[in-house]
Amino acid sequence: MVAQDSGLVANFSEDLQSSQATVCGRQKCGKTIAAGEARHYITGANAQNGKFVCTPCINYYSSQPGTMTRKDFEVSQARGIKESVNNARRKDATRSSRRVTPVPPHIGMGGSGHNSGMMLPPPVPPQPGVSIPSSWHSAPYTFPPPPPAPPVQHPSNPNMYGYTAAHAQYGASRQLWAGRAYQSSIADTITLRFKVLHETHGKKDGTQVRNLSEGKPNVFAISSPTALRQLAIGTMHPKICLALNDCPIDWKRIVLREISNWVDLGQEPPHDPYFYHRCLTGKPKGKDGVATFKKPTKAFQLALVIDAEQDEGLLCSCHMPMIYATMNILCH
């Protein structure tokens, strides 16, 4: 039984043993299948009923493309399609090799000699007319230039450009950070002692009042003048306010000075260590130029100095003399 529908797949059942003698369902066979022999069921095509066949007939159906599985059937169909396409290509190739291009009538009629029989290539067919819009011939589109970048302005001075005063301290800052990179984990410290002085017209140095002083240990030896001023005011502020009964005082006018040489620390580089270089000493047995930190035995004294004009105002408002604090600084 060959399937008439090319898309049909014949479904074979499992092999069964015949319980009684039956006749093979294939018309051309007609063999009797005895009881106990194997019989095979095969479905019919086009809604026909299935039937039981013997083993030789099932082998016959299995060899037919129409009753094989779809995979084998598709392979056989693809093989047939490929052969038909190849045959068609061979026919086209044979026809093209025998094709002769006719010579136009005007060729050879006006000529003479051997040129009259010359075969020329066929004329080129006319190309279709294509109109190009005139806008395409204009200049190519160019993007507008980007807006100019805003100028970088200094936050404190909008009109400042280029180098600033901080660049002058590059060498000192580089030396400072180089020393910090190689210093030990335990930083070198000093001890501060604060006093408060007030100036008097006609006197060169200030005068200490009420003997107010305060010590501050474990201060970094690399502290800058700015850090020393903040530490001095923060330490002595409660004592001064208590002594003046919270009288108003202008802390911006207070000057931090070193008592031994009366140097105004506000005029020194604000970010450079002020006392650290005084504590350095060279190694006699070490390499040349190598300095180490040595704790000095004498104290460094600093003072918060209030000018005479503000001192007179405080004396009038608080009815008491001004108090001066001095700072003794010991390196440890």
Segment among 5-9, 66-70, 173-177, 198-202 with least mean pLDDT: 5-9
Structure confidence by residue, pLDDT tens digits, 64-82: 766 654 444 455 567 778 8
Domain ranges of the chain: 1-92, 187-331
**Tokens at residue 115, please?**
């040129």
Residue 31 scores a pLDDT above 80? yes
Confidence of residue 256 (pLDDT cuts 50, 70, 90): very high
pLDDT (average), residues 49-65 = 83
Instruction: Say which residue, 254 or 145, is predicted with more confidence.
Output: 254
- Per-residue confidence (pLDDT) for residue 240, from 0 to 100: 84
Q: Which residues of 225-250 are buried (b: 16+ CB within 10 A; e: fewer)?
A: bbbbbebbeebbeebbeebbeebebe
- Per-residue confidence (pLDDT) for residue 180, from 0 to 100: 66
Residue 229 scores a pLDDT above 90? yes
Q: Over the chain, what is the mean pLDDT?
A: 72
- Per-residue confidence (pLDDT) for residue 99, from 0 to 100: 56
How far is residue 178 from each of residues 62, 164, 187, measured CA to CA in Å?
93, 22, 14
Confidence of residue 228 (pLDDT cuts 50, 70, 90): very high
Residue 140 scores a pLDDT above 90? no
Confidence of residue 32 (pLDDT cuts 50, 70, 90): confident
CA distance 128 to 153: 65
Segment among 76-85, 104-113, 149-158, 236-245 with least mean pLDDT: 104-113
Instruction: Say which residue, 112 or 90, is predicted with more confidence.
Output: 90
Residue 12 scores a pLDDT above 80? no
Instruction: Say which residue, 48 or 84, is predicted with more confidence.
Output: 84
Instruction: Say which residue, 149 or 67, is predicted with more confidence.
Output: 149
- Per-residue confidence (pLDDT) for residue 106, from 0 to 100: 53
Q: Which among 8-17, 107-116, 227-236 has the top mean pLDDT? A: 227-236
Q: Which among 50-54, 68-72, 240-244, 323-327 has the top mean pLDDT? A: 50-54
Instruction: Supply the pTM of this predicted model.
Output: 0.42
Structure confidence by residue, pLDDT tens digits, 281-303: 776 555 555 678 877 777 788 99
Segment among 133-142, 222-231, 302-311 with least mean pLDDT: 133-142
Instruction: Say which residue, 107 or 304, is predicted with more confidence.
Output: 304
Residue 179 scores a pLDDT above 80? no
